[in-house]
Amino acid sequence: MFPSRASGKIVLEIYERLYRAFGPQHWWPAETPFEVIIGAILTQNTSWANVEKAIINLNKANLLKPKSLKEISTRRLATFIRSTGYYNQKAKKVKNFIQFLFNNYQGSLKRMFSEDYLILRARLLEINGIGEETADSILLYAGNKPVFVVDAYTKRILGRHNLIEPKASYCEIQNYFMNNLETKATLFNEYHALLVRLGKTICRSKPDCHICPLKNI
């Protein structure tokens, strides 16, 4: 799938160039691990700015707690997250996660994250509404587990530099990073955040290649 030049050396060079250009990103922007989880579910198919509005609404209503979200109705929850789009479906996804959390871990994130993270990943993927990117965001950013998150920015950036084939799968791209980097949650966190920064500011749908830190890589 990957050309021979896409070695571990290239993976490290990308990281080093982005870090020199942008510095530490301090991502994920949240006050608690639970807020990270809710944000990861709500950010599907929308911008982070829209998620922030929903998080503020939930916070004001004192709903950013597992027990509070367990007790609220799905219909009422949807009214607090309208800014994220597809709010009825997303309210169901949030409630699905909450049900999973209480059914399996008595509503405790500590208990949940004490599970072997590969087993937990498989269990998260069984929840209706949680795919690979969301599950891995939960594991990395809320649980501090060493799992690399792959998103649309990652695919776009690697594709434009001919480091992946157009039809490369999520798992293939994830393995590319995880097989060529030290297995550290802090590194995976920073690397993914830097790719997001590049994708949002420079490697957009219409890229500014002349100012890209990865130019001529």
Q: Which residue has the tokens 């949240």?
A: 30
In the prediction, which pLDDT does 176 show? Answer: 93
Q: Can you spell out the DSSP letters for 63-88?
A: --SHHHHHHS-HHHHHHHSGGGSSHH
Question: Tens-digit pLDDT profile for the chain (217 aa)?
Answer: 554 444 679 999 999 999 999 999 999 989 999 999 999 999 999 999 999 999 999 999 999 999 999 999 999 999 999 999 999 999 999 999 999 999 999 999 999 999 999 999 999 999 999 999 999 999 999 999 999 999 999 999 999 999 999 899 999 999 999 999 999 999 999 999 999 999 999 999 999 999 999 998 8
Q: CATH number of the domain at 8-26+148-211, out of 3.40.50.1980, 3.40.50.2300, 3.55.40.20, 1.10.1670.10?
A: 1.10.1670.10
In the prediction, which pLDDT does 4 show? Answer: 44
The domain ranges of the chain are 8-26+148-211, 33-142
Question: How far is it, in rounded angstroms, from Cα 108 to Cα 58?
Answer: 19
Q: Which CATH superfamily, name and number, covers 33-142?
A: Hypothetical protein; domain 2 (1.10.340.30)
